[in-house]
Structure formats: C-alpha cells, structure tokens
Structure 1
Amino acid sequence: MQSDPYTSSPPLSDHYTTLEVAKMLGMAVRSVQLMVDRHELDAWKTPGGHRRISRASVEHWVSSHRHMGADTAEPAGNAGAEPTAAIKTHNPALKAAPAAKQILLIEDSVHFQNLVGLIVQQHFPDVVLHVANDGIAGLAMYGQTQPDVLIVDILLPGIDGATLITALRSQPQFTRSHLIVVTSLDTAQREPYAFALQGVKVIHKPRLVADLPAALAACLPSAKAPT
C-alpha cells in the first residue's frame, strides 16, 4: 500500500523546507506553497506541522520546466509556424518586420489572453502580440523577443509574476521594456507582492477593457492611439 505523503517522510537528506525550495527556485514562499497545493511538488508535514518537500520532486520539477522552456520557444525565423500550446504569437506575419512594436503577455487564463488579443488587434493592429502561459515560458520568450511592452499577471503557475519581474529586473535588457501588471487581486490582496509593484502600472482585470488601451498608448506612442 502506498504511504500517505503527509504522515510519512523520507530520510532527512531527501527533503527541503518550503523556504529552502523558494530560495532554490527564486520564488516567493507563497508560490511554493501553491505548487504543493496543486500537487506539483510532493510534500508532507512533520508532527510539529512544518511542511517538508521531497528533493526528488523538486529536481523533477526543475528538469521538466527547463525542458519546457526550450521546447516551447518558437524557432528563429519560423514566423509562419503554428503556435505551441505554451507560447502563441498573434499577427505572426508581422513578426519578422524590424519596425514592428512587440508586446509579450504572460497570462495563464485563456479568457484574458483572448481579451488582450482583441484589445491589441482593435487599437494597435500593427503591433505583434506574443503570449506565454506561465512564468517559465515567459522568461524564455522574453529573452527571444525583447518586447517593447511586457504585460504580466501576478498569479501564474510555476513562477508568480512578482518573482518573475524581480528576476527580469536583474537583466540589463529589461530597461528597454515598459511594464504593465494585470491582476484579479484587489489592493489588499496585492500586499505580499508589493516589493515588485512599486512604480509599476497595475490594472485590475475588471477594468482591463477600459484601462489597457490608454496604458498601451502611453508605452507605444508611435503606434495607433486608442479610439
């Protein structure tokens, strides 16, 4: 019979604390806790109620997501290729145009991916929109596209938006990108992520249709203005 992971534990050397995993993966502790809740990492609790995470599951997660980042990136020059499940490109015919402005949206909700796509198509038809479904794919896509505008959701699978923003800010090329954060979290719920949001334009998702066109126009002054 398979043992209950919350009542039994492997030897000490085979597990990490939540904080240790957060530091290893460059994530917030809360993000690691959510990964455990989603069963992306194997965990159990000590008699004192402290969570321990399997070393093997962490190594498996790192390996699988590293491969995912490489496999889902679109090949250079393959502008007409069918988008992958993790990364999609709107207006692919414009991808190779040097003068075309580019937006990268990192968002796991298909509904909001489509909504942002419609907004961009309506107000900025000459702009190329790339879409990544999670933080890991988003990091890979950012390195490839060097977008003029980066739109990031806070709650993402793999790496939360605040941690992703912090990681990108350490890269010199990030200074050329305008940053917009979109979120369903209200002001109070954003507090754990405040370290990454200071000075950043944040749009509440219920206000996306009303507020995103003007925010993009401010970042893309040479593109078509909102109508």
Structure 2
Amino acid sequence: MKSDLKLDPDAETMSTRDAAEVLKVSIRAVQMWVAQGRLHAWKTPGGHRRIFKSSVDAMCAARFPFVDAGETFDILVVDDQPLHTSLTDFYASMPGAPIKVLSIKNSLESLIRIGEAPPHLLITDVVMPHVDGFQFLATLSKHSWSETMRIIVTTRLSKQEMDDLGGLPSVIECYKKPVVLPQLLKAISKYVETWKMCRSRS
C-alpha cells in the first residue's frame, strides 16, 4: 500500500499496544496492518516495534470518517474477550467498514452504556456473574429503544436448559458456544445490510 507519509525515524511514535488502543482493535490486528504495509513502523535495536503516530492518525481518519456523525453500525459485546477480539480482527481487515465493536464484560456496566448510547446490535451471553441473563434481557425489553436494537445470544446452555430458565423471545437469535465465527458474521451482515437500507431511505 503506497503512502505519501514522510517517515522520519525521529518522528513521534507509539508502541503496538498504544496503537491498538487508539484504533480500538487488538494488538494482533495492528501487527497484521504493519505486515500489510497499512501502518508504518520500524524496530528498535532491541527488536521492539515502534509505529509512527502520523500513520495511526491517517488510519483513524480513513477508517472512522463518519464516527462523529453517528454513521457507524455499533456492536456491543457483553461476553468474553476472545469473541470481541475475533470480531475486531475480522472487521479490521475490511478498510472503511462502517462497523464499530465495543466490549464490556460487566453486564451492569453494559446496562448503563446501553442507556446512554444504545448499540444497533447487542451480542451477549445469558450466563453472567452477579446477573441473571434472562432478567437482563427482560430489563432491556422494557425500554423504547429496544425496538431498534437487535440482540444475539451466545451460550453453552442447551435449548431445553434455556426453556427451563424462562426461554428467549423468538426475535432473539441464539448461537451455541463455542461460536462458529462465519455463522455469526453472516447474521451480523444481515443486520448491517438492513441498517444500510433504512439509512438510504431516510
């Protein structure tokens, strides 16, 4: 990938971890972008990768030109870190994809977050510490914005076990853990396309 960036070894740089935090992706995704030439970096004599801040700033501008305008399809993951990492790594490989993934492990914190800024898609387990996942979903359903927020549940519970605990509304899609990523991505793509169609009509 060609770039007009002037790469000065003395220019301001940052670590791979810092770049990952700025870009809101995993460290693995940043390493992948460096290997692809989409981020510019150099290695210190000790073998540590240093990434040019100007390169990170340019990628932020290219990947998130519509974030401030609220033009992203927002996905909130209330689940374990591996699922969040898999999703961010996948969408990191798609330049310009209008998708933003946020992960929150604490379900109580996620309720506050959803109340402040409801995501377009919530991906959550129903087995969570300190909170009854079924009650969590029931609480969400009482809010008006729940009509526009789609929900996907990922769980190790069987359908019978979930039915015994109260069951899930028919509008909620459910995927058994360990999640098969291509299947989940197909479901997400369906919701994203619907979102794009609604935006184009408005």
Q: Shorter-normalised TM-score: what interval?
A: 0.5 to 0.7
| Structure 1 residues 161 and 208, CA gap change in structure 2 (3 angstroms) | farther
| Aligned partners of 2:74 and 2:120 also within 8 Å | yes
Q: Give the letter for the 1:169 counterpart.
A: S
Local SS of the residue matching 2:168: helix
Match of 2:72 among 86, 92, 100: 100
Q: How much has 1:191 moved relative to structure 2?
A: 2.5
**What TM-score do you get using the length of structure 1 for normalisation?**
0.52
Partners of 2:185 and 2:156 lie apart in 1 by 18
Residue 92 of structure 2 corresponds to: 121
| Aligned partners of 1:135 and 1:160 also within 8 Å | no
In the alignment, does 2:162 pair up with 1:219?
Answer: no
Identity of aligned residues (%): 16
Quote the RMSD (CA, aligned, Å): 2.7
Q: How much has 1:159 moved relative to structure 2?
A: 1.6
| Aligned partners of 2:121 and 2:150 also within 8 Å | yes
Partners of 1:184 and 1:116 lie apart in 2 by 19
**What TM-score do you get using the length of structure 2 for normalisation?**
0.58
Q: Give the letter for the 2:87 counterpart.
A: V
In the alignment, does 2:119 pair up with 1:137?
Answer: no
Partners of 1:115 and 1:160 lie apart in 2 by 26
Local SS of the residue matching 2:127: coil
CA deviation map 1:25-76 (0-9, x unaligned): xxxxxxxxxxxxxxxxxxxxxxxxxxxxxxxxxxxxxxxxxxxxxxxxxxxx
| Aligned partners of 1:134 and 1:159 also within 8 Å | no
Structure 2 unaligned segments of length 5 or more: list them.
1-18, 27-59, 197-202
Residue 110 of structure 1 corresponds to: 81
Structure 1 unaligned segments of length 5 or more: list them.
1-79, 84-88
* Count, aligned residues: 136
In the alignment, does 2:154 pair up with 1:182?
Answer: yes
Partners of 2:192 and 2:106 lie apart in 1 by 24
Q: How much has 1:155 moved relative to structure 2?
A: 1.1
Q: How much has 1:168 moved relative to structure 2?
A: 0.7
Local SS of the residue matching 1:196: coil
CA deviation map 1:97-122 (0-9, x unaligned): 42111111111x22222223334434
| Structure 1 residues 152 and 169, CA gap change in structure 2 (3 angstroms) | same
